[in-house]
């Protein structure tokens, strides 16, 4: 038996178990989720995935269709598309997780992706998605929102800063393999 492989497999197993547990807790937190009124913003439907995948491929060089399908299964209540007439202009996915602080247990949200079709960029669709998502998170007692953004994506960074997000640190391998991005945070409570 090769002992050098066992610790890494065990660590891999623990990380996988931790992720599964956090996903379960996040899905549990959604059980009593209250939604806000959202003009032209609707929950995702299975028929929308081909268009969502196309928009994701336009906006993210490391797009992951499997991640979108997983989030749609576990967090469908907080996976939205924004429409312009009958066309999908973009989408927003976030998920919930428990955060333990020195004070107490808190509900935290992580925005996984906001992507806008290139034909609708610059027309405030991302702003509307973000605004409605933040309103809904406040309504549901979320204490803070995290997101990760490529440090070269200045339009997105400016949008997030406009809503009060602050850069908390640089992180590697979150936005893509060997890529650096900013972690940004907005405190709601």
pTM: 0.78
Over the stretch 100-125, which tens digit does the pLDDT of each residue have?
A: 766 677 888 899 899 999 999 999 99
**Percentage of the chain modeled with pLDDT above 70:** 80
Position 1 confidence tier, pLDDT thresholds 50, 70, 90 = very low
94 touches 119 (CB < 8 A):
no
d(CA 5, CA 32): 43
Q: Beta partners for 107? A: 98
How many domains is the chain partitioned into structurally? 1
- With H, G, I as helix, E, B as strand and everything else as coil, classify residue 145: strand
What residue numbers bound the domain in which 128 lies?
A: 5-187
Q: What is the CATH number of the domain that holds 97?
A: 3.40.630.30
Alpha-carbon span 159 to 131, nearest angstrom: 11
Question: Please, are residues 91 and 52 in contact by the beta-carbon 8 Å criterion?
Answer: yes
Chain segment 133-173, per-residue pLDDT in tens: 999 889 988 899 999 998 988 999 999 999 999 999 999 88
């Amino acid at each position: 038996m090769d002992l050098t492989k066992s610790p890494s497999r065990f660590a891999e197993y623990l990380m996988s178990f931790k992720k599964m547990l956090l996903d379960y807790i996040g899905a549990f937190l959604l059980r009593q989720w209250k939604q806000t009124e959202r003009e032209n913003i609707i929950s995702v439907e299975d028929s929308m995935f081909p268009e969502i995948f196309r928009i994701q491929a336009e906006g993210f060089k490391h797009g992951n269709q499997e991640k979108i399908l997983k989030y749609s299964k576990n967090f469908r209540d907080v996976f939205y598309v924004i429409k312009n007439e009958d066309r999908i202009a973009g989408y927003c996915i976030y998920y919930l997780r428990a955060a333990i602080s020195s004070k107490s247990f808190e509900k935290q949200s992580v925005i996984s992706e906001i992507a806008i079709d290139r034909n609708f960029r610059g027309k405030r669709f991302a702003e509307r998605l973000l605004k409605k998502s933040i309103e809904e998170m406040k309504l549901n007692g979320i204490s803070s929102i995290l997101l990760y953004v490529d440090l070269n994506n200045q339009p997105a960074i400016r949008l997030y800063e406009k809503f009060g997000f602050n850069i908390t640190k640089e992180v590697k391998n979150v936005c893509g393999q060997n890529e650096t991005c900013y972690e940004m945070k907005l405190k709601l409570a």
